[in-house]
C-alpha cells in the first residue's frame, strides 16, 4: 500500500482528512490541494490498487467495496479512528462505501465531500465511458490517454496549456496500468449505486456536494441528485473548472472546501 501523510503545519492535534482520487487513482492528483488543506488537517492521500504499470491484476469481480477495503487497512495501520473524507468522482463512492464498512466499528467518518460525483450513472457519462473503453480496446493506451483530456478539461484551458498537457500525458503513458485493470475499474465505477446502506451510514455525517457547471463528463445535476438521495448536505455549484477543477480552479476549489469546514472549526475552538 502506497500512501503518505502530510502533517498539519499549525496543529499537532489536528483531525485527519483522507483524499481519494477518481479513476486515475493516484495520490499525486491532489497536489494542488495539499498546501491549503494541511493548514488545518493531517492529510492522508494514497494510490489506489491497480493504477500503476507494475500493478498486480485486479479480479474480474473488482468493485468499489474492494477499493474501500484498501482504506480500512490503511486506517487500521495508522490507528486513525475519526476522519473527514474528500473524494473526486469515484473517490466519493469510496468514501460512502468506507462509511458502510465502518458502521459497526468505532471508526467515524465525520464528513464526506464529493466532487463531481453521482448517485447512479447518467446516460451521458455512460456514453463517455463507452467511448473511452472502445478507444482502449481498439486503439490502445496512447489513444485512451490522448483523448482523456477532452473529458476532463475545458476547451480554453486545453488551448492555453496544450504543451503542459502533452507532458502530463507522456508521464501517464510511462506508468499506464494493465489494460484489464483500467477496464475493471471503469466497470466498478459504472456499476456503483448509492443505496440505503450508504444513506444510513452517513446520516449523522456532514455532507458536501461540489459540482462544476461546465463538467463535460458528469452532468452538473447529478450532484443535486446525490444530495437528494442522501437527504441532507450542502450543494455548491461552481461556474467553471470542468471535471478536473482540482487542477483548473485549484484556488477556488480549495477555498470552497475550507469554507464548508468553517462552522466545524469554530465548534472545535469554541468560538
Q: Tens place of pLDDT for every residue, the chain, 271 residues?
A: 699 999 998 899 999 999 999 999 999 999 999 999 999 999 999 999 999 999 999 999 999 999 999 999 999 999 999 999 999 999 999 999 999 999 989 899 999 999 999 999 999 999 999 999 999 999 999 999 999 999 999 999 999 999 999 999 999 999 999 999 999 999 999 999 999 999 999 999 999 999 999 999 999 999 999 999 999 999 999 999 999 999 999 999 999 999 999 887 777 666 5
CA distance 85 to 17: 6
Location of C-alpha cell 487542477: 247
Overall residue count recorded for the chain in this entry: 271
Please give the Cα distance from 79 to 86 (Å, whole number).
Answer: 19
Residue 253 and residue 33 in contact, taking contact as beta carbons nearer than 8 Å: yes
The domain locations on the chain are 3-269
Angstrom distance (rounded) from CA 45 to CA 129: 26
| Domain spanning 3-269: CATH superfamily | Alpha/Beta hydrolase fold, catalytic domain (3.40.50.1820)
Query: What is the helix (H) or strand (E) element at residue 104, kind and residue range?
Result: none
CB atoms inside a 10 Å sphere around CB 93:
27
Tell me how far the alpha carbon of residue 92 is from its chain's centroid: 5
Full DSSP string of 219-269: -THHHHHHHHHHT--EEEEESS--TTHHHHTHHHHHHHHHHHHHHHHHHHH
Could you tell me if 112 and 41 are in contact, meaning their C-beta atoms sit under 8 angstroms apart? no
Rounded Cα distance between 248 and 243, Å, is 9
pLDDT digits (tens, 9 = 90+) for 16-32: 999 999 999 999 999 99
Give the helix ranges, DSSP H, for 1-122: 31-37, 64-78, 90-101
d(CA 271, CA 261): 14
Report the b/e string of 147-182 with b at 16+ CB within 10 A: ebbebbbbeebeeebeeebeeebeebeeebbbeebb
Q: Where are the beta strands (DSSP E) in 141-195?
A: none
H/E run at residue 188: helix 179-191
Q: In the structure grid, which three cell numbers stand for residue 115, read together?
A: 466532487
Match 496543529 to its residue by C-alpha cell.
11
C-alpha cell belonging to residue 199: 444513506
CA gap 69, 126 in Å, rounded: 26
pLDDT given for residue 1 in this prediction: 66
What is the pTM for the complete model shown? 0.96
Amino acid at each position: 500500500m502506497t500512501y503518505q501523510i502530510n502533517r498539519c503545519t499549525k496543529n499537532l492535534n489536528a483531525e485527519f482528512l483522507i483524499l481519494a482520487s477518481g479513476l486515475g487513482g493516484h495520490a499525486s492528483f491532489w497536489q494542488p490541494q495539499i498546501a491549503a488543506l494541511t493548514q488545518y488537517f493531517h492529510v492522508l492521500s494514497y494510490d489506489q490498487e491497480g493504477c500503476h504499470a507494475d500493478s498486480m491484476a485486479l479480479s474480474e469481480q473488482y468493485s468499489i467495496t474492494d477499493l474501500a477495503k484498501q482504506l480500512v487497512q490503511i486506517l487500521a495501520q495508522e490507528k486513525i479512528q475519526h476522519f473527514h473524507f474528500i473524494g473526486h468522482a469515484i473517490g466519493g463512492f469510496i468514501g460512502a462505501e468506507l462509511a458502510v464498512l465502518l458502521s459497526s466499528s468505532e471508526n467515524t467518518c465525520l464528513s464526506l465531500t464529493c466532487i463531481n460525483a453521482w448517485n447512479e450513472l447518467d446516460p451521458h457519462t455512460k456514453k463517455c465511458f463507452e467511448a473511452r473503453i472502445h478507444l482502449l480496446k481498439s486503439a490502445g493506451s496512447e489513444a485512451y490517454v490522448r483523448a482523456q483530456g477532452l473529458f476532463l478539461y475545458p476547451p480554453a484551458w486545453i488551448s492555453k496549456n496544450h504543451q503542459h498537457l502533452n507532458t502530463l500525458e507522456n508521464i501517464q503513458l510511462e506508468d499506464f496500468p494493465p489494460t484489464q485493470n483500467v477496464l475493471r475499474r471503469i466497470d466498478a465505477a459504472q456499476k456503483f449505486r448509492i443505496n440505503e446502506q450508504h444513506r444510513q451510514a452517513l446520516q449523522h455525517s456532514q455532507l458536501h456536494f461540489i459540482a462544476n457547471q461546465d463538467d463535460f463528463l458528469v452532468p452538473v445535476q447529478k450532484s443535486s441528485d446525490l444530495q437528494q438521495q442522501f437527504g441532507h448536505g450542502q450543494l455548491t455549484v461552481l461556474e467553471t473548472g470542468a471535471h478536473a477543477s482540482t487542477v483548473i480552479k485549484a484556488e477556488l476549489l480549495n477555498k470552497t472546501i475550507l469554507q464548508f469546514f468553517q462552522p466545524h472549526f469554530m465548534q472545535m475552538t469554541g468560538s
